Structure 1
């Protein structure tokens, strides 16, 4: 539900903004979204004893240095309609929209063994060529027995499991015999 509401706000912001201002607004909202990970901040924002004006003042003080009237008006609107809690969703929707517009995505490579940086660069170049985009990958070591590449914003997940490849080789040999 939050995502649908966030998309409407994004649509309104996009109508009055160019690409450069959208990136600065998205940066402001991503910083605000980080604040929602702070438990103390959430206690204050979700406290029914704190008035809308006080909540508005807190949020506006956080974005005052940006000097953007669009951001200030959007925050005032969110406070007025009791939708402060969707700020992280708005930040995420903006990030995805900018990535889609710029055709620049990030992804993660999972494996149980270390992977050379050149291999990761090759994977990102190959995927980038395949999807006509710029894809940057980072490596995370975990217990996946093989290699798994996940680019969530594109909806792409590629995995090569060692056990699955071994079982397919055995099946193929068994069929040949």
Structure 2
């Protein structure tokens, strides 16, 4: 539900602002700031007035921000939708990636992969999807490799355990 509402706000932003990348950077910074426990509590608290919530967000932006962004934050506050800023940032980032055909993905592995292996994966995904994909690495306890590109809907999983199970199934079926 939140994403549907966020899409409407992103559409309005796209129609009114010329530099969406700058707006995305601002919203990403706000989303990161809003992930702090104290800020989350203040935004979610019914004891804090809408004006104070707006002031809190605007003070985080500073004084040299475009008036359209300030008005956007005020509209979110008046409609009691300040808490949607992280979702709006996510939807805006997805739209920007789709427009530029450049996506970001994550590789989850136990061991750190070298730059050459990551480039090979990026190239293979580019050939498969036709999109330019930039992969970052995240360490996990997965015994294998897991590649996720959320905005494209791509998820690839190679696990040693799964390969062993498939090999055993194949051998059993062939007997």
Partner in structure 2 of residue 83 of structure 1: 81
Deviation for aligned residue 1:42: 2.8
Partner in structure 1 of residue 5 of structure 2: 5
Deviation for aligned residue 1:173: 4.3
Partner in structure 1 of residue 165 of structure 2: 167
The change in CA–CA distance for 1:122 and 1:54 in structure 2 (over 3 A counts) is same
Aligned-partner Cα distance in 2 for 1:55–1:173: 63
Deviation for aligned residue 1:174: 4.8
Aligned-partner Cα distance in 1 for 2:111–2:168: 23
TM-score by length of structure 1 reads 0.86
Aligned-partner Cα distance in 1 for 2:171–2:40: 59
Q: Secondary structure at the match of 2:60?
A: helix
The change in CA–CA distance for 1:170 and 1:40 in structure 2 (over 3 A counts) is closer
Out of 58, 61, 73, the position equivalent to 2:59 is 61
Partner in structure 1 of residue 149 of structure 2: 151
Cα offsets for 1:127-147 (capped at 9, x unmatched): 023212111112223222222
Q: Secondary structure at the match of 2:48?
A: coil
Q: Please give the root-mean-square deviation of Cα atoms over the aligned residues, in Å.
A: 2.0
Deviation for aligned residue 1:71: 0.7
User: What aligned pairs does 1:42-57 form with structure 2 within 5 A after superposition?
Assistant: 42-57=40-55
Partner in structure 2 of residue 128 of structure 1: 126
Partner in structure 2 of residue 94 of structure 1: 92
TM-score by length of structure 2 reads 0.87
Q: How many correspondences in the alignment?
A: 175
Consecutive unaligned residues in structure 1, runs of 5 or more:
none
Partner in structure 2 of residue 17 of structure 1: 17
Q: Secondary structure at the match of 1:143?
A: coil
Consecutive unaligned residues in structure 2, runs of 5 or more:
none
Cα offsets for 1:20-76 (capped at 9, x unmatched): x11111111111111211222233333434333332222222224442121111111
Out of 103, 106, 110, the position equivalent to 2:104 is 106
Aligned-partner Cα distance in 1 for 2:55–2:112: 49
